[in-house]
Amino acid sequence: MTQVEIRQSVELPSIREDVSFETADGLTLVGELALPVGRAPRATLLTLHPLPTHGGFMDSHILRKAANRLPELTDLAVLRFNTRGTESPRGKSEGEFDGGKDEKFDVLAALEFVKSRGLPNVWLLGWSFGTELALKYGFNLDVLGALLLSPPLHRTSDDELRNWIGRGKRVVAIVPEFDDYLQPDEAKRRFAVLPEAEVVAVAGAKHLWVGETATTAVLNEIVSVVAPELVPLPTVYEAKD
């Protein structure tokens, strides 16, 4: 056995598959599905990336690192994809950015794809702009809840938050202490209209979760919701020689 420190761009074993799926309005979206090797996934993260007009895409680093680490460490399936008009090394999804409106079709298509693969216990995992898509469209979908990384709430109204009341779904906002847009105290105020919402403050972190300390913290917060018995995540991996 060889010990590998889990940090930066380390990619642990998983089954990686380039995927594509169609939206109800006729667009083809591209992405990647990462699955645990030799084991059935215990749950599924359907990820929604940051704002594509500001560099967000399916490879935004926290989402990429979730796919690189969590299938092996926690038996989670991770779907990443480019919303309409967004491009990454995987390719470009058809269509054009629509500010979160027609992206509703993208969220629905991604969930339909996940369900078509029989993947269990689906959670929406949004980051920044992706949190706004999750909050707008996830409240009445067949998901267990929404995990919100650095939610800016720019495009999210109080009425959209109230849509989640009584739905039996968890809404967990993971908020950096020094976020550029919405810091923990203000996040608690904004989310107060949704009594079920949980606001988790992460000390020392910023909106982009730069650095291994921030990455480790946010991945642990995600897993603490989806598979709490598996935290803290290991920092060293025993690789087979």
Q: What is the mean pLDDT of each run of 10 residues along the chain (241 residues)?
A: 90 98 98 98 98 98 98 98 98 98 98 98 98 98 98 96 98 98 98 97 97 97 98 93 65
CB atoms within 10 A of CB 159: 8
Three-state secondary-structure class, residue 198? strand
Q: Is residue 4 part of a domain?
A: no
Q: Is residue 95 part of a domain?
A: yes
Taking CA atoms, 143 is separated from 90, 112, 140, in Å, by 26, 11, 8
Q: Is residue 127 part of a domain?
A: yes
The pLDDT score that the predictor gives to residue 56 is 98
Q: Is residue 42 part of a domain?
A: yes
The pLDDT score that the predictor gives to residue 140 is 97
pTM over the 0.85 mark? yes
Helix then strand then coil, % of the chain, to nearest 5: 30, 25, 45
The pLDDT score that the predictor gives to residue 241 is 65
Q: Is residue 194 part of a domain?
A: yes
Which CATH number does the domain housing residue 42 bear?
Answer: 3.40.50.1820
Q: Sign of dihedral through CA atoms 143, 56, 193, 105? A: negative
Compute the distance between CA of residue 122 and CA of residue 144 in angstroms, rounded to an integer: 6
Give the domain range for residue 125: 15-102+113-229
> How many domains does one find in the chain?
1
Q: Is residue 207 part of a domain?
A: yes
Q: Is residue 154 part of a domain?
A: yes
Q: Is residue 27 part of a domain?
A: yes
